[in-house]
Structure 1
Amino acid sequence: MNKKNIKVVCGIILAVLVVGAFAGIIYFFEKESDKANAKSISKQTEQTTEDTNKDNPGGLTNYVEIGDTLYKYTDDVESYLVIGTDNSGNENVKDESYRGTMADFLLLLVINKTKNEYGYIQFNRDTICDVKEVDSTGEGEGMEELQLCTAHWYGKDKEQSCENTVNSVSLLLGELDINGYYSVSMKDISSINHLVDGVEVKIEDDLTKEDAALKEGSVVKLTDEQAEKYIRARMGVGDGDNISRMRRQRTYMSAYFDKAKAMFNDNPKFINEAYKDMTDKAVTDINGNEASKIANMLSKMTSKGIFTFDGESKLGKKLGDGLEHAEFYVDKSSIIEVLKTLYCLEIDN
């Protein structure tokens, strides 16, 4: 694969990842590619596995600390954080007036190369966790317990805002290693929806305040404008809780996955055409070679699905502006159970 094609594949793979269809598109794309180039892909995949086993013959031990308990895992695991941002902030500047946007959507792709499986962890944006208060010059080491979404507000530029968000997620998970990030504005959901000419979903909340056609119980093929409202709406919608919005996001992911597969089946050039529409919309530290390797791995793996953490939602003043905002307190036992499933985590004796 030449450098230009790697960038094309990288872009569309990661763009589709934002709406949760990463694995499905890759699986379908690679399955079709196998027909034309089976030997090449098989050889590359086998070499990746061989290199992994050679580098980690006895299983390197990794440690995470959750609560007061130290855990370990020896499986070879990679993870990548997907961030969907809102419209706040002042990101399009290169000076100290920079302010990051809030992270509305957070999804961690976890690839367990030892078990030949992958899965996702979807985070509640209101999760209270440690956030590093980096200023607009890129300095500052102070930590504060704040909503996870605020981590992307801090930093001197878009890249540092992403890195700060990765750091908060890592700390929440006991300083778990995260290999990369991919961020895109949630306002680009309309563009992503447009790639597949709309997605059909059953409306599970009363969204008529956002759009009269989005009545609870109805089945609607979402227009580009409706898709953004369906995925992003929270205040004054249903119970107004971010957990309801997260459920809608998962519903959309599933429907998008099915639609994208069908479109690729009808038009094998769908991947490249979609990439052209999504160029220059993302901030990422995942290069083309890494994306290509991820694609090859996922095409041979089994999906474990999307996981969320249990916890308690309430109003509080952690944000420090004198107003009450939604706060979500994660049940640490839930974190442990999810990591046991995806990382084969166990107590370090």
Structure 2
Amino acid sequence: MFSRFKYTEYPKSIRKQMIERDKKNPEKGRKKKRSAAKIVLAVLLCLFVLLILLFCFLMLRSRRNIHPNEALNLNTDSIGVDDDTAPVVYDNGRIVEYKGERYEFNENIVSVALLGVDKENLGLDYGVVGTGGQADTIALALYDTSTGNIKVAVIPRDTMAEINTYDTAGGFLDIKEGQICLSYAYGDGRESSCENTIRSINRLMLGVPVDYYLAMDLDGIPALNDAVGGVTLTCLETYGRFTEGETVTLMGEDADAYVRDRDMSKLDSDSSRRARQKQYMESFIDKALSQIKKNFTLVTKLYNQAMNYTVTDISLDKVTYLASTAISKDVGVRDYVTVPGEYVQGEKLAEYHVDRTALFEMILSLYYTKL
């Protein structure tokens, strides 16, 4: 799913500049790419830190201000056309009737687009638009402020979506279909790249709003791990420096190794690695919550650590006031889902084609409540 860096994955208009850049600076062109697993973990760690902070902020705001980018405009064209089950949409999607059921959009949900960028430092190389990297990991964190429940919807990087394209000077060219990971490349590698990716996500997700964004580079794992005093867990398997059944406190690069490394000689090595990632995330959340309850200033520390590796439109002033009720809330990730579809071999690269009807039904389950 995660392909290696290729000039051909970038817009034609910038390939020549990138090739010339790397000829002048060969070491930059040869920098080792981070693994997909590390990108995923970095995003998930930052997800937890961000959502704890965001919850504290939202608890003290009026409900009408929860959605800064509120613009629900559900687009159900082509859904159910073939079998006469087309949904009926009212008030731009706030009420939906589908297959004999009636649904209402959950106004308590706050959505955050989480982007794992395949670069060590966010931004452009040599000021060239298009060199800001790709969004190798894309996920939507859906946070229900009334319950504390978090659901994560993963969007495969190769998902085919409508993308706004721009020239190297930033001038708009056209809207084209392409892998959604490329939407990030058409921007400054920071804010405008995030905004362009959100634009593509919004179209893909049939018009449901995205309230905030957070993009993270790949160097934040050890720092966030150590900011909570390390993570203690019982090793699930024996490999490398770890022994099954042994209780360890992961510090620094050990945390990265525990969730990233795998035994390539084993057929099921990726599934066992995913189990370790899930275990680590749960342990990290427990440790962070326990530390925050003891010392609220850790929230600011975690925020500052995360901001060294991220760009987001959620500023520190939004989380200055902390409420004890936020920490006592049963905040937790309740579900992980993937946008439904299938991989096909494109003309040059793998393409993930979304099943729009299944996607619509997933959106109903994530964003709506049955009346």
User: TM range, normalised to the smaller chain?
Assistant: 0.5 to 0.7
Question: Deviation of residue 178 (structure 1)?
Answer: 0.8
Partner of 1:137: 169
Relative distance call for 1:94 and 1:241 in structure 2 (3 A) is farther
Question: Deviation of residue 128 (structure 1)?
Answer: 1.4
Identity among equivalent pairs (%): 20
Task: Say yes or no: does 1:100 pair with 2:129.
Answer: no
Cα pair 2:120 2:219 within 8 Å, conserved: no
Partner of 1:262: 290
Relative distance call for 1:334 and 1:290 in structure 2 (3 A) is farther
Cα pair 1:124 1:328 within 8 Å, conserved: no
Q: In the alignment, residue 225 of structure 1 is paired with which amino acid?
A: E
Q: Give the TM-score normalised by structure 2.
A: 0.62
Could you tell me how far apart the structure 1 residues matched to 2:341 and 2:308 are?
38
Q: Give the TM-score normalised by structure 1.
A: 0.66
Partner of 1:343: 367
Relative distance call for 1:180 and 1:90 in structure 2 (3 A) is closer
| Mean Cα deviation higher: 94-103 or 217-226 | 217-226
| Mean Cα deviation higher: 262-271 or 309-318 | 309-318
Could you tell me how far apart the structure 2 residues matched to 1:234 and 1:217 are?
17
Question: Deviation of residue 174 (structure 1)?
Answer: 0.7
Counterpart mapping for 1:153-232 below 5 A: 153-201=185-233, 208=239, 212-214=240-242, 220-232=248-260
User: What runs of 5+ residues in structure 2 fail to find an aligned partner?
Assistant: 1-42, 80-86, 95-104
Q: In the alignment, residue 359 of structure 2 is paired with which amino acid?
A: I
Cα pair 1:78 1:179 within 8 Å, conserved: yes
User: What runs of 5+ residues in structure 1 fail to find an aligned partner?
Assistant: 1-14, 31-40
Query: Deviations for 1:252-283, whole angstroms, at most 9, x for unmatched residues?
Result: 32211011122234444322343444444321
Could you tell me how far apart the structure 1 residues matched to 2:323 and 2:265 are?
37
Q: In the alignment, residue 340 of structure 1 is paired with which amino acid?
A: L
Counterpart mapping for 1:109-124 below 5 A: 109-112=141-144, 118-124=149-155
Cα pair 1:86 1:185 within 8 Å, conserved: yes
Task: Say yes or no: does 1:68 pair with 2:78.
Answer: yes
CA-based RMSD of the aligned residues comes to 4.5
Partner of 2:311: 283
Q: In the alignment, residue 173 of structure 2 is paired with which amino acid?
A: G
SS at match of 1:186: coil
| Mean Cα deviation higher: 77-86 or 104-113 | 104-113
Could you tell me how far apart the structure 2 residues matched to 1:173 and 1:294 are?
32
Cα pair 1:190 1:225 within 8 Å, conserved: yes
Query: Deviations for 1:106-157, whole angstroms, at most 9, x for unmatched residues?
Result: 33232446x65542323144341315233432233232231x3333233234
Cα pair 2:222 2:256 within 8 Å, conserved: yes
